Amino acid sequence: NLCFFGRHSMLPRHVQRLGRDWITHWNGSQILTLNSPVSSCMRWAGHYPPWASFPLPISADFSANWRFPPFFGPWRQFQNSNWHLDNYTQSCCFHLPNPSMKSEGEEPLTKKRRLSGQDDTSTPEQETNLSNQKEVSCLSVAENEEKHGSKKGTIKRHWEYFCQQSKTMKISKKKGSDQSSTGSEATFDFTVMSYNILSQNLLEDNSHLYKHCRQRLLFWTYRFPNILQEIKELDADVLCLQEVQEDHYRTEIKSSLESLGYHCEYKMRTGRKPDGCAICFKTSKFSLISSNPVEFFRRDIPLLDRDNVGLVLLLRPRFHCKANAAICIANTHLLYNPRRGDIKLTQLAMLLAEIASIAPQKDGSFCPIIICGDFNSVPGSPLYRFIKEGKLNYEGLAIGKVSGQEQFPRGQRILSIPIWPKKLGISQNCVYEIKQQQKEENAGEKLEAAKPDNPQEIVIASEKLSSKLRHHFKLSSVYSHYFPETGIPEVTTCHSRSAVTVDYIFYSAANDDTAAQPGAEDSFYGGLKLLGRLALLTEKDLWTVNGLPNENNSSDHLPLLAEFRLIER
């Protein structure tokens, strides 16, 4: 009974006051909340197709989840907590925080610092990416609201697409039509998801990261149905999953995905931690050419003492006019340790070398490449720039600055030149040494002709070259990492200690892809055109539903989803 305190005058006076204050607070906002009509227009204006709906929950059963405030606790703290209306008007709904979310005073200090300063964040990377996103999001909001209703109390992730490619694969997929087009250009549309599903073992070993969560939401028996439901709803043609626990993969995940029409390939980590990476693809869209696991641990190399892994698949699209068409899909989870950028760069070089050995075609060009994963590096960091730009001069670079994970890096040691020993068998161009030697032998006469007269110049040139990493792929990022309208960072992971972007989908862009950012200068005789992507969220959005994991989203990472068109000429 909400009037409990008012009807019992024999209660102590300070308890009666507490009751009246609480009733006033309740009547002033929450009754309005429960009895007022709520529009279906959510915070994100845009396209909400049923297959891309992504609910972030606010419990409809308010009374079941509400926790009574402590009688003798700090009542002012309760009054100042996040029980408030947010943008409540007739045309847009408000967001009621999950009752289990801590008040502002109880938030982790690191999260409070980020929230107070994130709106002022601005980087050169942001400015570059803003200019590349001019063609995004041109669908009418009103048209979508008529077609797709949205559940009350949820945050939807909307589908962003590039206007020139507004007719997406989903239409032709429902019709079951062959996507090969006639003429000089053949196309093939498909979707790719990258998703760190949070290994249960790692969750339990790092429970301090999930203090904001109710305990029952952290059990695997609760989490797995939610994760599987997300995968069903997003319905990607290719899944790149990280932190896939081996026993769960063997007993539940593999069979569940196979029942959805996927073929699964899996590589477990080589150490004690029983998780790994999986790539799963729909057999109705692709056939497997080869599966190539990559182990980053090397017993004979002290630098490579970590058990992270990668997985590289070569897939052949079905319903395609060219019999030799192929797509290279890579998936990895790089080392977390912010202070070991030397290991991160070496692991990345090993993955790129494996891709370079698998992706070449008969004409000397590379087949289209997609690299997914949790790179444990933030946008704009040296590791990120190396992937996108195809080159990195690491001379004088501190190992703690490679990934950009720490604002004030603790790893101050400068990267050695070269980073990894020669016996690894991988060159500074991120290819296996055997292939590099073959290229050098073929170009031997040209090198001899261009040889400088002064031997000292050769030594100096060699020293400068040794601190430069390169790779031969023209890669772009599916996501821009900042929202164009506000400049606020996108977030792919959110827990008690951190809310940042560390997950990516990189792809080799076709020459006419308007969404592509500048990359390496290698030429492709085709490539991938980005048609659309599932929008990410801000840290503020995620904390309105108590961060991650939550009731409907059972990992501490968001799934990334992109739609591509394969173009061959």
CA atoms within 13 A on the CB side of 472: 22
Residue 390 predicted with pLDDT over 60: yes
What is the pairing mode between strands 238-245 and 186-196? Answer: parallel
pLDDT at 162: 80
pLDDT of residue 411: 81
Query: Alpha helices of 325-370 — where are they, by DSSP H?
Result: 341-358
Q: What's the rounded Cα separation, in Å, for the pair 429 and 349?
A: 8
The answer to whether the CB of 369 falls within 8 A of the CB of 507 is yes
- Count of alpha carbons within 13 angstroms of residue 98, beta-carbon side: 23
420: phi then psi, degrees, rounded to nearest 5: -115, 155
Taking each continuous run of H as one helix and of E as one strand, the counts in the chain are: 18, 17
Longest dimension (CA), the chain: 103
Identify whether the C-beta of residue 317 lies closer than 8 Å to the C-beta of residue 286: yes
Q: Sorting pLDDT into bands at 50, 70 and 90, what band is 173?
A: very low
Rounded distance between C-alpha atoms, residue 81 and residue 100, angstroms: 11
- H or E stretch at 286: strand 286-295
| Tokens found for residue 505 | 């989908």
Query: Before 49, cis peptide (omega within 30)?
Result: no
| Separation CA 75–CA 21 (nearest Å) | 9
Local structure of 79: helix, strand or coil: helix
Query: Residue 23: its pLDDT value, please?
Result: 42
Higher pLDDT, 184 or 492: 492
HSE (side-chain half, CA atoms, 13 Å) at 103: 13
Instruction: State mean pLDDT over 106-119.
Output: 41
The continuous run of DSSP H or E covering 292 comes out as strand 286-295
- pLDDT at residue 18 tops 70: no
Cα 548 from chain centre: 14
**C-alpha dihedral over 456, 460, 463, 467, to 10 degrees?**
-170
Enclosing H/E stretch for 369: strand 369-374
With bands split at pLDDT 50, 70 and 90, how would you rate the model's confidence at 97?
very low
Distance, in Å, from the CA atom of 502 to the CA atom of 403, rounded to the nearest integer, reads 9
Paired sense of beta strands 493-494 and 262-268, if any? unpaired
Residue 13 DSSP SS3: helix
Question: Hey, what long-range contacts does 80-83 have (CB within 8 A, 24 or more apart)?
Answer: 80/104, 80/105, 81/105, 83/25, 83/29, 83/30
536 burial level (CB within 10 Å; 0-12, 13-18, 19+): buried
519: CB partners within 8 A, 6+ apart: 388, 389, 390, 473, 474, 475, 476, 509
Give the pair of three-digit tokens for residue 548.
């991650």
pLDDT at 374 over 90: yes
Average pLDDT over residues 180-185: 47
Neighbours of 40 (CB within 10 A): 14
Rounded Cα gap, residues 434 and 472, in angstroms: 16
489 pLDDT more than 90: yes
CA separation for the pair 46, 29 (Å, rounded): 29
- Residue 444 is predicted with a pLDDT of 56
> Mean pLDDT over all residues of the chain?
76
Beta strand pairing call for 159-161 and 503-508? unpaired
> Is the pLDDT confidence value at 375 over 80?
yes
308-354: pLDDT as tens digits? 999 999 999 998 667 789 999 999 999 999 999 999 999 999 999 99
In CATH terms, the superfamily for domain 159-164+186-430+465-568 is Endonuclease/exonuclease/phosphatase (3.60.10.10)
- Statement: residue 486 has pLDDT above 90: yes
* Integer Cα distance of 329 and 447 in angstroms: 35
Residue 369 has pLDDT above 90, yes or no: yes
Residue pair 499/545 in contact by the 8 Å Cβ criterion:
no
Distances, alpha carbon 53 to alpha carbons 35, 64, 102, 191, in Å: 26, 25, 27, 15
Mean pLDDT of 282-287: 98
Helices (H), 467-564: 539-543
Q: Which two tokens stand for residue 234?
A: 């997003």
Percent of the chain with pLDDT over 70: 61
Among 316, 325, 289, 282, smallest CA distance to 191 is for 282
Site of tokens 């998780």: 275
Q: Are 207 and 533 in contact (CB under 8 A)?
A: no
**Phi, psi values for residue 529, rounded to 5°:** -110, 130
pTM: 0.72
Calculate what percentage of the chain has a pLDDT beyond 90.
56
